[in-house]
Amino acid sequence: MFIPTDPLITLQAGEPLPAPEHLRITPDRCRLSAVHPMGTIPMGDDPAQAAVDSRGRHHEIDGLWVADGSLFPSSIGVPPQLSIYALGLHVGRSIIAAG
């Protein structure tokens, strides 16, 4: 895990967390940032390559549909709101058509 400071503070899995007073985080060292999690469930019609098909329907679990930023193959690098709205509309139409 990274803490967005200058220089970057890196925390390793399994290692004990340092006490907050030892991190030496001051306002002049902190960078403002926002994160949009994406890319955890990319779409694809090949079940060996993706968990959901191109309509957002899960390959293995009946009735499970995914319609959020996790469908992107990775972070798209820009604010994703409109793209996520479009994916939601696409998946929503697919759910209605399958119904």
- CA dist 30 and 4 (Å) reads 6
Among the listed residues 36, 58, 59, 90, the single catalytic one is 36
Between the alpha carbon of residue 7 and those of residues 11, 22, 29, 98, the distances in Å are 13, 15, 7, 51
- CA dist 24 and 26 (Å) reads 6
Examine the residue annotation and report whether 36 is marked as an active-site residue of this protein.
Answer: yes
**Active-site amino acid positions:** 36
